[in-house]
Amino acid sequence: MAPTAGEVLVIDDDVDVCEAVRDLLGDSGYVVHVAGTGCEALEMLTQLRPDVILLDLGLPDTSGLDLLTEMTGSSAAPVIVLSGRSGETDRVVGLDLGADDYISKPFGGRELVARVNAAVRRRRAAAPADVMQFGDLVIDEATHDASIRGRPVALTPKEFDLLVFLAHSPRRVYTRSQLLRHVWGSSDRWQDDNTVAEHIYRIRRKLDPDDRERFIETVRGVGYRFAPAAPAGQASS
């Protein structure tokens, strides 16, 4: 039997959307599982280990945002929110709660497949487990943890991915478009590049609320760079 591209869990009570997603991703080699309610999704997650979760926010039995919080605490799978709500507030709240990506309905089939492919590639192509230390900042890729002076820093999965990507190339400047491409597997044709700015803001606030640019600097008119004040050291775990 040929290997699959991966497994996807779709959580949506719209039968037509589920069938469309099943056809699109099935044609790309994915095994697609469908849950119509939050309760059903949580039950399925006790048995499944999906590579990606597609989550609609308008579920009949629970808040999609509440379910997102519960899933990101118990599953390592990236979550892509599919929602008819296009307002900025819902998008920002979803990202704050740990969503990996956000696609507004109606969405294009090629866009959906590309986003899922990118999420799977990022998860499978994770760099070898390293511990990076920059002064009092420690980033442990093996455990997906970051700490300052021994204090854990509560980063969402996407915030951690962005921090790691920047930290691997200290002083190198990346534009928002480049970060969308490398960290989200997206582009500013599909996704608002303010997503990058929102994530940078939250990472800075969590790392050092008193010195927001201590680790990540803004290069005006260009983008962002990781610029720790102390010399960087790195050791393999």
For residues 211 and 184, give the distance between their C-alpha atoms in angstroms, rounded to a whole number.
Answer: 26
CATH dotted code for 6-124: 3.40.50.2300
Within 10 A of 70 (CB to CB), how many other CB atoms are there?
Answer: 16
What pLDDT is stored for residue 39 in this prediction?
93
What pLDDT is stored for residue 210 in this prediction?
77
Within 10 A of 208 (CB to CB), how many other CB atoms are there?
Answer: 17
> For the packed helices 15-27 and 109-124, what is the interaxial angle rounded to 10 degrees?
60
β pairing state of 145-148 and 137-140? antiparallel
What pLDDT is stored for residue 126 in this prediction?
54
Q: Are 64 and 56 in contact (CB under 8 A)?
A: yes
pTM (global) more than 0.85: no
For residues 135 and 234, give the distance between their C-alpha atoms in angstroms, rounded to a whole number.
Answer: 11
| 130-236 to CATH, choices 3.30.70.380, 1.20.1530.20, 1.10.10.10, 3.40.50.2300 | 1.10.10.10
What pLDDT is stored for residue 234 in this prediction?
40
- Domain range annotation of the chain: 6-124, 130-236
What pLDDT is stored for residue 226 in this prediction?
94
pLDDT tens, residue order, the chain (237 aa): 345 688 999 999 999 999 999 999 999 999 999 999 999 998 888 778 888 999 998 899 998 888 988 887 667 788 999 887 666 666 777 777 788 888 888 889 999 999 999 888 877 765 455 788 888 899 998 888 999 988 999 999 899 999 999 998 888 889 998 888 888 877 667 777 788 999 999 999 999 887 777 899 999 999 999 987 643 344 333
